[in-house]
Structure 1
Amino acid sequence: MTENKELLEQVRTALGKIPDPETGRGLSKQILSVVESGDTIEIKIGLTSFAAAIRDEFKAKVESELANQFSDSTFNVQIDDFVRPPQPLGTVGLKCKAVIAIAAGKGGVGKSTAATSLTIALKRAGSSVGLLDADVYGPSIPQLTGIRGRCAAGQGEKIEPMDFNGIPLMSIGYMIPPGEAVIWRGPMLHSAVTTFVRNTDWGELDYLIIDMPPGTGDIALSLSQLLPLTGSVIVCTPQEVALIDAVKAVGMFRKVKIPVIGLIENMSSFICPDCSKSYDIFGKGGAKEYAQQDGIPFLGEIPLNISLRQRGDAGKMVDNFDDETVGPYLERIAKSLVTTLAENAAANPTTPQLPVIG
């Protein structure tokens, strides 16, 4: 096996056209090695855990480009881990690459289920993810994850988050006694959200998923003042009355300058557990049609499924991914989100600020 420096430069030039999913910059500096082994050229390319959910799609894209550029050669592409530390965000210094707010125009549409499922899917793919329950009046994350108890003091003034299979969790449910109602006005809400973001020991994250309160309250405004949100994802159900509220949520985020980067349709259809037939109880496709009309990426559907609901009630959301009926829907949403973020990064490449560690 020999390294061919001339071929290395040719490959770097060819793959410089492909944007890194995280930064949007060309891949030339992420080509770790180009080695000839007999009739095969072996290439190692670095990819950060930020893009773990679309690792296979990224590899296929690289292979396709190489085939186009070097039609007489056979390539074996290997994707290796590539470390790029996150930059501190906003006034709170959160070390995170993307902050995603999961929101809904009204309650009862499955927003928290979508937020928890997306978090688990990203973690399973290999990304570093945290989950913040910002729904102060109706925290659902402790129930959905099955993680109970009270948060403990961490290093210095930091709060140690709860651990959910390697996912740091924070919720008002971990700060007050079970069953106690939160009766707060706006300034107290702002203070609580600030504490959750600034004083929680989140570590270094690829993603922080924030489960927002339903409706168009002032939590979104508080978050927009604390740190630059990457964007919001709106969850709604297919029927017209839910879409009306989803439109209001989209308008609210746009007013506070938070991009709407996706829409998820929950309860899109009922999948019968006995015959596997699909029934459109609440209608179908309304959210997708609205997303297309308004230029919002449609991230996917979550079916209305008895087992999915039961696992949420039992705090066993992780088990949904072993269910061949609902698991693929949840994984596709995570892939769609990361694909959308990669497309946005390609359209607006970032300027490197720290040395890259390979």
Structure 2
Amino acid sequence: MPDLNEQTVRDCLNQHADPETGRPMGSMGQIGDITIDGLKVTATIGLTTHSMPIATDVCNAIESKLTSLTPGTTVSINLVTHQRPPARLGQTGLRVKSVIAVGSGKGGVGKSTVASGIALTLRQMGANVGLMDADVYGPSIPHLLGLSGRPAFAKGEKIEPIFLRDDDDSLFPMPVMSMGFLVAPNEAVIWRGPMLHGSINQFLGMTAWGELDYLVIDMPPGTGDVALTLSQAVPIAGSVVVCTPQEVALLDAVKAIAMFRKVNIPLLGMVENMSGFQCPDCGKSYDIFGKGGARDKAEELAVPFLGALPLNISLRSAGDEGRLSQELLENAAARAPFESIVVSMVQTLASRAAASPPTASLPTL
């Protein structure tokens, strides 16, 4: 067993992978002060806001690594925010670290609610998040979040998004862009493919998103050409496919998975929405739409299963009333399944980064 001293501890931590990049934390400047008092180790670790949703996992892994150095060692982690701005992404010039597309094979499966829930939960877990409603024909994000207004032009002819803010400003303001801000609620958008393509590119490239850890994109239902437009416009970190448990929804979910694979958008996994209902009066559970179908289909297709979202009356009411953000912030039971999904997503991104960390490139002479 090596002696327990600062250099031994630092050498151990220096090689621990940063979950965002996969590179050693020491090389990224994320290892701070280390103090040792007998067998008690206190270490300051910097973590980017991109990785904050899995902060508990990171701390547990570091504690396990340090306690294995010397029997009887106890570890205390002082977690601080490590500042690392995003680079420009793709031809759009987006300053976003990870773009997440949320899609479904058919409408009516709660895709927009899931996309909003993922974005809100990422934000509530410490990340800087934007939400883009790419469902041009049926934009519902503004209603779910209780947002209204008309985007104005910011400096440099960028479009200023509508921001979701919490009452005490303790969370990052979340920029939101949707066709729902640009057309009246009773008007229909009747566009052919080229106009749809143009609007998606404008939402991506002309919106003043700022610097984000995640941009969550609510896709239109089905397998139209929006996925192709997105795949050509910006590198997408991964996609999430939403479905309900019954077989007819799973048939369409398979098509959505095939679509993402065909346009080379990596799959983060499947989410089963409307997965059972627990009666608040008697406590009995009812599988109204079935249960477990998405998990079985994900295993069959070798796609990660991110989690199940049960039917929740309070969540449904909050969405109808434009209070989805407040409900997820205040209702731990409604938030818990989303937290599990978000942790699984970010863990998958971290695993991919660790398996293939980016390498520094030399400038071309």
TM-score w.r.t. structure 2 length? 0.92
Structure 2 counterpart of 1:3:
none
User: How big is the shift at 1:57?
Assistant: 1.5
User: How big is the shift at 1:41?
Assistant: 2.6
Q: Does 1:287 align with 2:285?
A: no
Equivalent AA in structure 2 for residue 347 of structure 1: A
**Structure 1 residue runs of 4+, over 4 Å off?**
none
Distance in 2 between the 1:48 and 1:59 partners? 13
Structure 1 counterpart of 2:109:
109
Distance in 1 between the 2:195 and 2:353 partners? 35
Structure 2 counterpart of 1:263:
270
Deviates more, 1:42-51 or 1:319-328: 319-328
Q: Does 1:343 align with 2:351?
A: yes
Equivalent AA in structure 1 for residue 342 of structure 2: A
User: How big is the shift at 1:352?
Assistant: 5.1
Q: How does 1:297-308 map to 2 (within 5 A)?
A: 297-308=304-315
Q: How does 1:226-241 map to 2 (within 5 A)?
A: 226-241=233-248
Deviates more, 1:184-193 or 1:23-32: 23-32
Distance in 2 between the 1:204 and 1:247 partners? 34
| Aligned sequence identity (%) | 52
User: How big is the shift at 1:72?
Assistant: 4.8
User: How big is the shift at 1:39?
Assistant: 5.2
Instruction: Indicate the SS of the match to 2:68.
Output: helix
TM-score w.r.t. structure 1 length? 0.94
Structure 1 counterpart of 2:170:
none
Distance in 2 between the 1:57 and 1:131 partners? 26
Distance in 1 between the 2:340 and 2:245 partners? 19
Deviates more, 1:334-343 or 1:38-47: 38-47
Distance in 2 between the 1:287 and 1:15 partners? 39
CA deviation map 1:54-112 (0-9, x unaligned): 11121011101101123353332211110111111100110000000000000000000
8 Å CA contact 1:12–1:27 kept in 2: the answer is no
8 Å CA contact 2:112–2:141 kept in 1: the answer is yes
CA deviation map 1:154-208 (0-9, x unaligned): 1111011001121100001112223211000000001000000001000000000
Q: Does 1:328 align with 2:336?
A: yes
Q: What is the number of residues matched between the two proteins?
A: 349
Deviates more, 1:103-112 or 1:307-316: 307-316
Distance in 2 between the 1:47 and 1:324 partners? 25
8 Å CA contact 1:46–1:81 kept in 2: the answer is yes
Instruction: Indicate the SS of the match to 1:299.
Output: strand
Equivalent AA in structure 2 for residue 346 of structure 1: A
Structure 2 counterpart of 1:186:
193
8 Å CA contact 2:49–2:82 kept in 1: the answer is yes
- RMSD across aligned C-alpha pairs, in angstroms? 1.7
Q: Gapped runs of 5+ residues in structure 2?
A: 166-172
2:19 pairs with 13, 16, 21, which one? 21
8 Å CA contact 1:50–1:206 kept in 2: the answer is yes
8 Å CA contact 1:8–1:33 kept in 2: the answer is no
Distance in 2 between the 1:99 and 1:211 partners? 11
Structure 2 counterpart of 1:251:
258
Distance in 2 between the 1:353 and 1:98 partners? 20
